[in-house]
Amino acid sequence: MKYFSTRSHNNFVSFREAVLNGLALDGGLFMPGKIPSFSKSFIEKLHAFSFQEIGFETAKKFIGDEIGEQKLLEIIEHSLNFPVPLIDIDENTHILELFHGPTLAFKDFGAQFMARTMEYFVKDFNEEIVILVATSGDTGSAVAHGFYGVEGIKVYLLYPSGKVSYIQEKQLTTLDKNITALEIEGTFDDCQYLVKKAFTDSYLKNKLNLSSANSINIARLIPQSFYYINAVKQLKHSTKKIIFSVPSGNLGNITAGLIAKKMGLPIDLFIAATNSNDVFTNYLSMGNFEPRKSVQTYSNAMDVGNPSNFERIKTLYENNIVKMRNEIESFSFDDEKTIDGIKEVYSKYGYIIDPHGAVGYIALKKYLELAKQNNMDSVIVETAHPAKFKDVVEEAINAEVKIPQRLAECLNKEKHSIVLDSKFETFKDFLSNTH
Ligand SMILES: *Cc1c(COP(=O)(O)O)cnc(C)c1O
């Protein structure tokens, strides 16, 4: 499979190159030259495949022969090694729990797969690879855990100082070895800007083997399609319409779902559920894409003012907003509504949902009301474990949220970070002096 940039559709690179570069030279994002498709029989026989088998069959289509089958199998086995249950909260409503990985958020899927893939691709390299990751909270720790201890790869996590939760910060700053946390005095968008700018800086580009692990990396996007397929499998030949509500920020998660649909997965509609950072919601309703500074919310992993994967969605729909609107709805909600959502899911279903999932829940509810639908199979994508947002959730439901063991462990470790202001020169000096 060859990959092209969302900004120039005629330059193709290999999967390896797309993965190692992260971003295309022209600043665009990589897309598969052709979206592969599933055979009808594969879709009909989904129930016969395990999650790992689904991952393997799907990955093969995107990678071709650039990774041998045996190696790919190993990568899949190492990265898809936690459960992805679909919980029924009522007859038509299901919660897809994507938080059973090491850092308790869906980003573990992409991060684990990407880390193993990169490890494979750089093993013949003599020089160290430097990975820069801007994180609004969850990306950094997922990526860090994926790469932790991987030889030949050094990771810098850039996170906005004071804008991630206590627990998220602990997860970001308590790994050692090849992982360094950079605490940036600015917003997530500043962090993302620094990373993007580093890639276009010829001095840094020559001095370091830079790579990116943000949701812009195609190796993070591909494995995110696996759980949509696995969820449809778990709906067991539903004859109802199928709808997924996806809590969205940088739009990577939903893009993976849209790609799975394009491959032939029977999903009728996606909801891009956003918080007050509603640039994409506004785009779908008004037709203008107007990036803004991000604002802070309880669902902070969605606090993105200029969602990168918008370029991929546009490419997927050939810039046609009408087609896009046929398959994607979008609604945005503020923190107050988010809290109401957490409360309602708890009181109505006895289920503890995190602030991101809560935005997905209320967006779904709103859609079903507006569309006067009550007989669709609805899947709320629950992107994080509620314990990651313990304070907010406990206050909303007035009950305790238990902390899973794997999270409790890192809370006892000491924080290590390097504080930098948000100027590019500062960041550049730091990188040049460290390497
Ligand atoms: C990253 C993240 C999101 C947003 O996903 P995108 O792919 O950026 O749209 C939603 N919820 C949680 C918990 C996240 O970590």
The closest alpha carbon to 8, from 24, 20, 21, 19, belongs to 24
| Pocket lining: 163 vs ligand 1, CB cutoff 6 Å | no
Helices (H), 275-372: 279-286, 310-316, 321-327, 335-349, 355-370
| CB-CB contact of 383 with 99 (8 Å) | yes
pLDDT digits (tens, 9 = 90+) for 390-411: 999 999 999 999 999 999 998 9
Higher pLDDT, 205 or 350: 350
pLDDT score of 212: 73
User: What pairs with residue 418 in β-bridges?
Assistant: 182
Pocket test for ligand 1, best of 188, 253, 308, 309 (most atoms within 8 A of CB): 253
- Is position 154 annotated as part of the catalytic site? no
pLDDT digits (tens, 9 = 90+) for 46-93: 999 999 999 999 999 999 999 999 999 999 999 999 999 999 999 999
| Pocket lining: 380 vs ligand 1, CB cutoff 6 Å | no
Query: Torsions phi, psi of 335, nearest 5?
Result: -60, -35
| Pocket lining: 220 vs ligand 1, CB cutoff 6 Å | no
pLDDT digits (tens, 9 = 90+) for 206-242: 888 887 776 689 999 999 999 999 999 999 867 899 9
> Please, which pLDDT band fits residue 136 given cuts at 50, 70 and 90?
confident
pLDDT digits (tens, 9 = 90+) for 266-305: 999 999 999 999 999 999 999 999 999 989 899 988 999 9
Pocket test for ligand 1, best of 248, 270, 309, 388 (most atoms within 8 A of CB): 248
pLDDT digits (tens, 9 = 90+) for 12-51: 999 999 998 888 888 899 999 999 999 999 999 999 999 9
Of the residues 60, 107, 123, 372, only one is catalytic, namely 107
| Pocket lining: 261 vs ligand 1, CB cutoff 6 Å | no
3-state secondary structure of 209: strand
CA atoms within 13 A on the CB side of 406: 13
- DSSP string computed for 371-389: TT--SEEEEEEE-B-GGGG
Pocket test for ligand 1, best of 100, 103, 107, 306 (most atoms within 8 A of CB): 107
| Pocket lining: 301 vs ligand 1, CB cutoff 6 Å | yes
